[in-house]
Chain A
Amino acid sequence: MTKITFVKHDDEEIVVDAENGTSVMNAAVDNLVPGIDADCGGECACATCHVYIDEAWFPKVGNTNDAEEAIMSLNPDRQETSRLCCQIPVTDEMEGLKVRLPEFQF
């Protein structure tokens, strides 16, 4: 299990235990984290699991992949550290990961 913190746009923190081998999106929906709809089930087809990675964490999590970038690039609320969290695997290295939930997804 790996601890991940989701920070709502009003700064409320939701700390969850995520199972390694699943995605950060899976951890969000398993724990009723609001604002992560994930309608496509993790196929990078809907862009409804957008998060902002905490800046300190971004180098470790890494940048978007091509499919992700293409679907996010036109979003006016896209930030430097934006990711679709269905594309982030949960591993031991992610222990303590902090991501923010964008207001536009609420």
Chain B
Amino acid sequence: MSSDFYELGENYVKKLVSEGTRLDGRGFKEFREIKIETGVVEKAEGSARVTIGNTQVLVGVKMSLGDPYPDTPNEGVLIVNTELVPVASPTFEPGPPDENAIEISRVVDRGIRESKCIELEGLGVGEKVWIINVDIHVLDHDGNLIDASALGAIAALLDAKIPKYDENEEKILYGEPDRKLPVKDVPVAITIGKISGKLLVDTSLKEEAALEARLTVTTNSNGEIVAMQKGGKGAFTPEEIKEAVSISIEKGKEIRKLLGG
């Protein structure tokens, strides 16, 4: 497809939004259909498949024993990694994570870490601690990858069980769950896009071509802000930021219900 097509599409999206509608007829604060399935990969300690419209993300939690950070010797270690695998989009290529993948990892990581939803304290085994690898595998890209990834990550963590550890053999008994990973809060990331000066949630890929700027706000179960990330080349006014925060708190509550939180 030529760049002209994208420009036309972009202008059409902008025109619609300025008239108060969207390509697929959704309201500005309306998500596409969200589906969450957990326990989809038996060999992972926790897993979740999240679809938001045609966007599909698979998240797996793998646990292993490793060295703690020197300043927190008895705390587990959280590592979030995102792969924009080439099945998901004609523009994704095999290879190490690019800046987009790294931004997703870091925004998701921040939401989980700063909400302190995982009780990392007490995840030590002798000198070692549990390393919690959250791997986000984006399978189908139709926009709003940050929200889908964050939702998949927390759903997979809520599903995760710590495997048994055989101290005599010094071996992790994968496939034999010992106890649930202690997760006590449910951070939810909501990304607000700005198009034609209007604020929208859950932008599709076509809409993202017309995106001026975006703001991801992660909130906890108390409706407090735990993390934020502004992205895109455009800017927000302070009023827009405040409105975006209100929208995120409200939508966060709705989506948290899908996780039983």
A and B associate? no
Q: Which residues of A contact B (CB under 8 A)?
A: none
